Structure 1
Amino acid sequence: MSTSQTESTPQSGQEAASKSGGFFRALVARVGVQNLSLIVALILLVTLIGSQNQNFFRPQNLLSIGTAIAVFGVLAIVQTVVILLGGLDISVGSMAGLTSVVSAMIFTAASSSMIGIASALLLGLLCGLLNGVIIIYGRVNAVIATLAMLAAYKGLAQLISGGRSQGYTGSDPIFTAIGRGTFAGIPILIWIFLLIALATHIVLRYTDIGRNIYAIGGNPVAARLSGININRYIIGIYAYVGIVAGIAGVLLTARTGSGQPVSGSEGLELDAITAAALGGAVLTGGKGSIPGTVLAVILLGVLSNGLTVLGVNSFWQNVAKGALLVVAVIIQQRRSGQRAVGLPA
């Protein structure tokens, strides 16, 4: 064998390794480290659960996961937008509960599902605007303001419903189509979640509105000096959150067949915040993505369903969600390089 032939072999190996490394780096750059880690975690979780119980892979169970994540999934999408802006909305679950009750009660009174749905969306819009006005003109921290409104909206839902489920929408064709209908074999609930996620992603990624939201969350002083009306954006985003919370309330009503003041909406705000943080939304604002949140929503849905399929006590689900939120925030702090509170620099 000639010298040129023997030298070509290691060069070919190096070129192949270089191409392989280049492809991997391009993949990481395209998808993102956060999203790749979520995909790997999802694959491992699905493999683990499926190996313990084959019923997990049944089509009916997989569709059940999709319908279960739809309600908190839409709230996680808008929670991501609020976090990108540098805020937080802890009242989304209570808004969903309130609008759920109102949609069912007005449907019963007016015998019209369209009026009930429109009323829920309008009420959600008003609640979101109220949150934004309190934050801006009351000069109240977003966490405190929405924490207070969480209690207020929950109390209002219990007052007008007497603390009980209201109405019955199971016989209405529109509510039935939303809650149990399918399109192309996929439940309508999942389509609504995906459409809201896609629309929000497009706005954030490809419009000036999205770029301004990232700018406000990243550096509000610089954003203000560049001419961005921060107050208008904050009120507008919280109004958008309210509308989507109204949609979540309608989905909740359609899925359960009645207006749910508390039981169906309890803990939705924790699920939404956990999914947004797990998906890479930095709680200080300016960083995050909708695809990451969607992956995190699916991961949480698989985890919750998997624990149920494996017969694990349902109370452990909240423990797991809380632990995931803590882990997500710790990872964010480590990656940002911020000094831990109480530790020397």
Structure 2
Amino acid sequence: MAQPLNTKSMGGVARQGLRRLPLNATILAPLVALILLFVVSSIASEYFLNTRNISNVMRQVSYTGIIAIGMTFVIIAGGIDLSVGSMVALVGVIILYIINTISDPIQAVLLGMLAAIAAGGLLGLFNGLLVTRGRIAAFVVTLASMSIFRSLALYFTDAAEVSTRNPLFSNVGGGFFLGIPIPVLVFFGLAILAHLLLFYTPYGRHVCAVGANAQVARYSGIRVERIVLSTFVIAGICVGLSAIMLTSRLNSVSPSDAGYFYELDAIAAVVIGGTALSGGRGTVWGTVIGALILGIINNMLNLTGVSPYLQGLVKGGVILLAVLLQYKRA
């Protein structure tokens, strides 16, 4: 017998999924924090506003920021992905192997980039299937795949750095367009697309509804497992894009170091941006702001000569403060 629908609960899920005002309290707080941090940084260091420094900060932010956009979908849907850093290393290895195999430089770069996006999507699909079909908690699945992906990257390369002499590949992540680094353009372009997908399509509303209350979303006709699966695929595709930008910038990849702690930075950017770790609520632009906040903090710690051993302490404190403020607002 079909279970009766709780229309009142369904209405609550719908309202939760439709929280899409871009300048509500969720995004306003991190935006104010970003402005204050920018002002303080410009006063604290004379080098902060240097054009080269700003360009470097934006470029560094873009690598983890692209991943954080995909992580936003996963977390809003009630999941988490700890494997993205190791996934960057494995996808980076795949890119360079393909590029080094093909003799034509243009064809090699195009096929390598397509392979990166496909590989990222498939690795995300692997995680998503274990979560949805295997009924294993996302934390456990991605904790295991974090080790699996890193181990595969190390095995395929014998833990050695892989590089390429392709004359065109470095222009992808290291080039500029209209004076702006290409990774930065990809970051903000992807943010616009993700914002439109999350807040102006039925799919986005379904993602929010699933994260708010999966059972009620299922009663309302939403295919919960399919939505959750798709968020991991989106995260994997974003990892593929980030791996392209990072690998081409360096023209090489180190399987032991590539993407190291990227999962922490991506999750931190999402949380600082106001997305609830419990799911059901969040914004893409909040994540963008969170990534910028982290980037400026890292930059200022370096410019002011703070010991690198203490930088993790500062970053951890910012994450705890962001989560604490979330609970206070709730």
Query: What's the TM-score, normalizing by structure 1?
Result: 0.85
For 2:8, the equivalent position in structure 1 comes to none
Q: State whether structure 2 residue 262 is matched by structure 1 residue 268.
A: yes
Q: State whether structure 2 residue 27 is matched by structure 1 residue 31.
A: no
For 1:162, the equivalent position in structure 2 comes to 158
For 2:123, the equivalent position in structure 1 comes to 127
What is the correspondence of 1:179-190 to structure 2 with a 5 Å cutoff? 179-190=173-184
Greater displacement, 68-77 / 102-111: 102-111
Cα distance, 1:30 vs. partner? 5.9
Greater displacement, 225-234 / 177-186: 177-186
Secondary structure in structure 2 of the residue aligned to 1:113:
helix
Cα distance, 1:43 vs. partner? 2.5
Cα distance, 1:118 vs. partner? 1.9
1:172 aligns with one of 163, 167, 171: 167
1:56 aligns with one of 48, 51, 54: 48
1:247 aligns with one of 237, 241, 249: 241
Rounded to whole Å, the distance in 2 between the matches of 1:242 and 1:120 is 10
Secondary structure in structure 1 of the residue aligned to 2:163:
coil
Unaligned runs of 5+ in 2: 1-20
Q: State whether structure 2 residue 229 is matched by structure 1 residue 235.
A: yes
Indicate if the aligned counterparts of 2:86 and 2:258 stay in contact, CA closer than 8 A. no
Unaligned runs of 5+ in 1: 1-28, 337-345
Could you say which structure has the larger radius of gyration?
A: 1
Secondary structure in structure 2 of the residue aligned to 1:54:
coil
CA separation of 1:30/1:220 partners in 2, compared to 1, >3 Å: closer, same or farther? Answer: closer
1:66 aligns with one of 49, 58, 62: 58
For 1:288, the equivalent position in structure 2 comes to 282
Rounded to whole Å, the distance in 2 between the matches of 1:92 and 1:146 is 8
Tell me which stretches of 4 or more aligned residues in structure 1 moved more than 6 Å. none
Greater displacement, 36-45 / 224-233: 36-45
Rounded to whole Å, the distance in 2 between the matches of 1:35 and 1:123 is 33
Cα distance, 1:165 vs. partner? 1.7
CA RMSD of aligned residues (A): 1.4
1:148 aligns with one of 134, 138, 144: 144
Deviations 1:193-234 (A, max 9, x none): 111111010011100000111111111111100111111111
For 2:291, the equivalent position in structure 1 comes to 297
Letter in 2 for 1:134: L
Higher relative contact order (CA 8 A, sep 6+): 2
Secondary structure in structure 1 of the residue aligned to 2:34:
helix
Letter in 1 for 2:27: N
1:96 aligns with one of 66, 81, 88: 88
Q: State whether structure 2 residue 44 is matched by structure 1 residue 41.
A: no
Cα distance, 1:154 vs. partner? 0.7
Greater displacement, 112-121 / 69-78: 112-121
Indicate if the aligned counterparts of 2:272 and 2:287 stay in contact, CA closer than 8 A. yes
Rounded to whole Å, the distance in 1 between the matches of 2:193 and 2:22 is 20
Indicate if the aligned counterparts of 2:85 and 2:258 stay in contact, CA closer than 8 A. no
Cα distance, 1:138 vs. partner? 1.3
Fraction of identical pairs, as percent: 34
Letter in 2 for 1:320: V
Query: What's the TM-score, normalizing by structure 2?
Result: 0.89
